[in-house]
Amino acid sequence: MSIKKIIFCFLLLAVIFDSYSQNKSVISGTISNKENNDLLPFASITLKNYPIGTISNENGDFDFYIPNSKQKDTILVSFIGFISYEVPVSSVQNRLTIKLRPTNEILTEVVISPLSPLDYIRRALKYFDQNYPQNSYQSLAYYREKFIENGAVINKEEGVFKTFYPSTIDSAKNQHQLLLYRPANDPQQFQFMREWFEKKQEKQKKRAIKNGEDYDEDEFSTDIDMDFGGPESVIELDLKHEKDNFLKQEYFKKYDYSFGDETVFNGDTLVTILFKAKKSIEYIKDHGKILISKDNYAIVRIEQNAKFKIPFLIKPILFTLGFSIEKPRFKKIISYQKYKDIWYPKLFQWDANVKITKRHTFSSNEHSNIKIGQVFFINKLDSLVTAIPKEKLFDSDEDMAEQIHNDIGISWDQLNIIKD
């Protein structure tokens, strides 16, 4: 989590298709748990024999764009802890209602293993290079960020990235190129302290007029910029270049590690390692789980939940200003997909939540429940790769809208995105 986002927390789709009958290349559906009908968010929907796919949204819904050349392939739907579902593309005639069965291989008790939790983590780090792509490759990925205040979408941006991943033995960073970009069509206005902000801006404007000074309308705009850092944090959540404290040797003694239930994912038995920080580390106290393949010790998925502790010196300042802030919380997910016995990145997700209150003496207090989130998931993998030219490299410090280089001529209706 970047410092810029932490500070920000303190101070604060278009549909792919009209209908299945109109476009046979798009298959839609809903994924749920067969035992209790709970919807399964961020389930994986891929082709069995080709590295292209999508994920379900928070409500288990998905739209899956399939190229015409792959209509003879098979759809594979999977979710950790559930038996995978397969269906030939050619046999799908209507919207899919997929109910996954929980696997009976999930243990009901703590795993008994000759290895300790830290043994699994150490082996995962030791065999990292051989479990993940050693050769360079390329991906096509969908990116989305959202800013929501009290249930209203204040900002939403979407993008499509082409990424060049150097080999694991290469120390070079991943290279990103922005192919497509679109902002929200009709975003709502940020409401927290808006009345105070508008009054202050109006005073500044009147003062400028009174003093005969030139002023720019944009300078006195009451629209608040909701840019909270751009894609840089989520598109670089690759374990190759950056590992969180719970995966670093020097921090092992600052965490408690234990076994969770074993589970399965597309035939691979996974060991669950639970971790929990004993105390805050750099103002963050986190916990979560690491899912590691029992066969080759590959890290398949990481789920991290954390609270950010407000620094002691900041508390009196916030109190003096009349602010009350609950401990900001954030969640991060990194997951991988297996293709030809190699684990490739699949999903990087980052979400945060903070509740802010502004106390007023003579009027009602203001409350703002802010949710911000980013997701980056791989649509397609390709072994035919070329490095991104310097002039097309994405720069997180620059506006996304000014960095579009769609040199492959792709359009939004050819992409798998997260369904709204």
96-100/137-149 β-pairing:
unpaired
Q: In 3D, which of 162, 155, 163 has the Cα closest to residue 182?
A: 155
pLDDT of the residue at 356: 82
- Per-residue pLDDT, 13: 24
For residue 216, what pLDDT is reported? Answer: 61
The dihedral through the CA atoms of 279, 281, 286, 291 has a sign that is: negative
Residues 6+ apart with CB under 8 A from 89: 27, 47, 66, 70, 71, 72, 73, 74, 75
Kindly state whether residue 251 falls inside one of the protein's structural domains: yes
Q: How many domains is the chain partitioned into structurally? A: 1
pLDDT per residue rounded down to tens, the chain (420 residues): 454 454 444 444 222 223 333 344 789 999 999 999 999 998 999 998 888 889 998 899 999 998 888 889 999 999 988 999 999 999 998 899 999 998 864 444 444 568 899 999 999 999 988 888 888 899 999 999 988 888 878 888 999 999 998 876 677 788 999 999 998 887 777 766 666 666 667 777 777 777 777 666 555 454 555 455 578 778 877 777 678 999 999 999 999 999 998 888 888 889 999 999 999 988 889 999 999 999 899 999 999 999 887 765 566 666 566 666 777 889 999 999 988 888 999 999 988 888 887 777 777 878 888 888 899 999 888 877 888 999 999 998 888 999 999 999 999 988 888 877
**pTM for this model (two decimals):** 0.78
The answer as to whether 224 is a domain residue is: no
Reported as type and span, the H/E element at residue 131 is helix 128-131
Q: What is the DSSP letter of 135?
A: S
Tokens describing residue 140:
């096509």
**Residue written as tokens 């302290």?**
193
**What's the DSSP call for residue 8?**
H
pLDDT at position 9: 47
Please choose, from the candidates 21, 144, 34, the residue with its C-alpha nearest in 3D space to the C-alpha of residue 100. Answer: 34
Burial classification of residue 338, based on how many CB atoms lie within 10 Å of its CB (0-12 exposed, 13-18 middle, 19 or more buried): middle
* Phi-psi sector, 227: left (phi>0), alpha (psi -120 to 50), beta: beta
pLDDT of res. 31: 95
Contact, 233 vs 253, CB < 8 A? no
For residue 358, is it within any domain? yes
Secondary-structure breakdown of the chain: helix, strand, coil percentages, each rounded to the nearest 5 = 20, 40, 45
Cβ of 118: how many Cβ atoms within 10 Å?
14
228 in a domain, yes or no? no
Q: Domain limits at 196?
A: 3-213+233-414
**Does 318 reside within a domain?**
yes
Instruction: Give Cα separations from 76 to 225, 240, 324 (angstroms).
Output: 41, 27, 47
pLDDT computed for residue 77 by the predictor: 93
CA distance 211 to 220: 16
Buried b (16+ CB within 10 A) or exposed e, 355-391: ebeeeeeeeeebebebbbbbbbbbbbbeeebeebeee
DSSP 29-85: EEEEETTT--B-TT-EEEESSSSBEEE--TTSEEEEE--GGGTTSEEEEE-TTB--E
Nearest to 375 by CA among 225, 174, 237, 183: 237
Half-sphere CA count of 266, side-chain side, radius 13 A: 21
pLDDT at 16: 26
User: Is the residue at 34 inside a domain?
Assistant: yes
Distance CA 286, CA 280 (A): 8
Domain presence at residue 199: yes
HSE-up (13 A, CA, CB side) for residue 52: 18
Chain-centroid distance, C-alpha 167: 23
- 100 inside domain: yes
What is the β-pairing status of strands 329-339 and 323-325?
unpaired
**What does the alpha-carbon distance between residue 237 and residue 345 come to, in Å, rounded to a whole number?**
9
CB 183 within 8 A of CB 168: no
Q: Quick one: pLDDT at residue 23?
A: 40
Q: Show the tokens assigned to 280.
A: 């805050």
